[in-house]
Amino acid sequence: MKDLVIFSLVSNKRLAAKLAKKYDAILGDISIDRFKDGEILVKTLTDCKNKDVIIIESTAIKAHERLFELLLLVDSIKRTGSRSIKLYIPYFGYSRQERVSWINEPISCEVVAKILDTAEVDEILTFDLHHPDIEKFFKTKFTSIPTTHLFADYYRKYLKKENIDIKDVVVVSPDHGANTRADALVASLPGTRKVILNKFRTAPNYAEHLAFEDDVQGKVCIIIDDIIDTGGTIVSAAKLLLEQGAKCVLVGASHAVLSNKNFEKVLDTCIKDLVFTNTIEKRLPRRIHVLDISDDIK
C-alpha cells in the first residue's frame, strides 16, 4: 500500500516500523530540531501528497511535549497535501484528569481534547482509555480500542500452562473506576468472578486499599488495570489480597507508564506475574510480558 505513510515521533517507533512492513506502507521520516530557547521544530521529511497517513504516538512521559510534537507534525504533513490523517495515541496522557476531584482543579483531559480537535485530523484512536466519559470531550471522531481480548488470550494460556482451575480465579478491580474493565475480563474468562477493592489516595501518587469482605482465600487473583505508573495502586492491592489469604497475585495493565525507577524491586515482593501491552515502548526485564496491539491498528 504505497498510498499509505506511517509515522511515529518518539514513543512508538518499533510499532510504526512493524506496521509499515505489515502493510507494505512507506515509513515516514521526520526531523525534530530544538532551538536554544527550548522551542521545537518538527517536520515530515516524507512527501505525503495524496497519501493516507497514520501517525502513532503515545503521549506518555512529558505528555505535553509529546502532544505539541504531534500537533506540529500534523500541520507539517497537511502542508504536503496529504489525503487523510488518522492519529493513533495508544496511551493517552492526561486521561487520569478527566474530572474535578478537588476544588479549583482543571479538567486537563478536556483541555487536551480541545487542543487535539484543532489539529483537524480525520480520526483519533486510542487504546483502553482511562474512562469512557472522555470520549465526549472530542468533536473529532474518537475511538478507544479495548485490550481485554489480549489479556483474556494471555490468561487462558497462562492458566492452562500453570494447571490452574478457572474456578479458583478471581478478577480484581483495584478501584471502582476500573470496574467495567474487570467486568469485561470476567465475561471473557467464564468461570471467574469479580472482586472490587476500595482505593483511597492519601496524596497524589500514593494509594492505599481498605480491607474487604469478599473471600479470596486460596484464590489466584488477577488484578486488571489500565495504567501502572508508580506501581502504588497494584502493590497496595496485591499486598492486601495476599494478607486476606490469596494464593498469588497476577497483574495485567494496558499502559506501562512506570515512572518509579524502583518499580521492579517492589514488584518482586508481591506479584507473581506481570503483563503489559506495547502502547508505550519500554525496555522491560524479560520476566515482564508484553502483548502486541499492532493487529488492532488498521
Catalytic, 199? Answer yes
Judged by CB, which is closer to ligand R5P: 118, or 180?
Answer: 180
Q: Min. distance of Cβ 208 from ligand R5P in angstroms?
A: 10
> Does 225 interact with ligand R5P (rule: CB under 6 A)?
yes
Sequence-ordered list of residues with C-beta below 8 angstroms from that of 238, at least 6 positions apart, any chain: 221, 223, 249, 251, 270, 271
Joined together, the cell numbers standing for residue 123 give 480520526
> Does 207 interact with ligand R5P (rule: CB under 6 A)?
yes
Q: Min. distance of Cβ 253 from ligand R5P in angstroms?
A: 8
> Does 198 interact with ligand R5P (rule: CB under 6 A)?
no
Can you state the angle between helices 263-270 and 232-243, rounded to 10 degrees?
20
Which of 82, 147, 192, 233 is close enough to bind ligand R5P by CB under 6 A? 233
> Does 182 interact with ligand R5P (rule: CB under 6 A)?
no
Q: If phi over 0 gives left and psi between -120 and 50 gives alpha, with beta otherwise, what is residue 230?
A: alpha
Q: Min. distance of Cβ 18 from ligand R5P in angstroms?
A: 27
Give the footprint of ligand R5P on residues 95-154 (CB under 6 A). Answer: 96
Which of 26, 152, 178, 293 is close enough to bind ligand R5P by CB under 6 A? 178
Give the footprint of ligand R5P on residues 62-101 (CB under 6 A). Answer: 96
**Candidate list 2, 199, 247, 265, residue with the active-site label:** 199
The answer to whether the beta carbons of residues 259 and 281 sit under 8 Å apart is no
Torsion of CA 291, 17, 122, 117, to 10 degrees: 70
Judged by CB, which is closer to ligand R5P: 73, or 235?
Answer: 235
Q: Min. distance of Cβ 151 from ligand R5P in angstroms?
A: 15
Judged by CB, which is closer to ligand R5P: 181, or 219?
Answer: 181
> Does 288 interact with ligand R5P (rule: CB under 6 A)?
no
CA distances, 268 to each of 155, 246, 272, 283 (Å)? 20, 16, 8, 17
Judged by CB, which is closer to ligand R5P: 118, or 269?
Answer: 269
Catalytic residues: 199
Which residue ranges make up the site for ligand R5P (CB under 6 A)? 96, 174-175, 177-178, 205, 207, 225-233
